[in-house]
Amino acid sequence: MKNEKFEEDIISIPEIFNKLSIVELDGEKILKGELDIIDTTGKPWDTYQIEIKGSDGYPYSFPKLFETANAFPKILDWHVYEFNDKSCCVDVTPNELIICKSGLNIIDYIERFVIPYFANQSFRIREGYYLYGEYAHGIFGRIQFYQSKLRAKNPNELLRMFYLIVNDYNPERTAFCPFCSKTKFRKCHKAAFAELSIIKDFLYWDGSKQLIPFFTANPDYKLP
C-alpha cells in the first residue's frame, strides 16, 4: 500500500547515501540500490543490494527492508520473515513500537538499524555467529526482550507486571516495589514500567493472546 509520508521522507536519502536511488515499483516510490558496510577502521566489509519500502504503519513502525541478492539465507534463523514476505527482521515488535512511538526518521532508521543489521549479517557470514548476540524468534524473542526490561522471577510474575503496566500502576514516590519488597519502586521497576507503558495496548494483546496461552501450554517453562 502506498505510503505518502514514506515517499516524502526518502527524497533526501540519495544525497546522504549516494548508492541508493528512488525508483517507482508497482505505483510506489521506494529506495533501491547498494549499501556499503564499513568497519570502524574504515575498511569496506561488504556491499549489500537492498530495497526499502514504505510499510502500512510508517512512521510509527519500521519500513520494509529487503536484501535482494541472496547474500544470506532467507530464513528465520538469519532474521528474515521466512513465511511472510522475506523482509528483514530488524528488531522485536515491542522494541520497534517503542522506538517508533513519536514517529521514525528514515535517516536514523538506516544509520541505527539497517547498517548494524547488515554488519551483524556480515560478521555471522565470516565468524558463524552474531557479534552482539540476538533475540530468539517469535514469542521467545519477545519474552527475552520483556525480561531484559522487567527481570521477572517466573511467568506469573511477568504476567502480573503486564497487568500493572496496562492498568497504569503508579504508586506513591516512597512505595516499595511489589516485586522487590526491600527496594523502592522508583529505584527498581519504575523506569521499565514507564517505558513499556508506551506500548500498553500491545502488552495487553501479547499477554492475553500469546503469553497466557503459551505459559498455560508450557507450565514448566523457565524465563530467560
pLDDT of residue 1: 66
Question: Domain check: are 96 and 205 in the same one?
Answer: no
* Domain termination site, one of 93, 127, 161: 127
Task: Say which residues have a Cβ less than 8 Å from residue 74's Cβ, sequence separation at least 6.
Answer: 67, 80, 82, 86
Look up cell 514500567; give the residue.
193
Q: What is the pLDDT of residues 43-53, one digit of tens each?
A: 888 999 999 99
pLDDT of residue 137: 87
Question: Domain check: are 194 and 90 in the same one?
Answer: no
Q: What is the pLDDT of residues 6-18, one digit of tens each?
A: 999 999 999 999 9
pTM (two decimals) = 0.90
pLDDT of residue 180: 85
**How many domains does the chain contain in total?**
2
pLDDT of residue 70: 95
Q: What is the pLDDT of residues 145-193, one digit of tens each?
A: 999 999 999 999 999 999 999 999 999 988 999 998 789 999 999 999 9
d(CA 156, CA 205): 16
Query: Which 3 state secondary structure label does DSSP give 16?
Result: helix
Give one word for 133, left, alpha or beta, with left for phi > 0 and alpha for psi -120 to 50.
Answer: left
pLDDT for residue 216 is more than 70: yes
d(CA 87, CA 76): 10
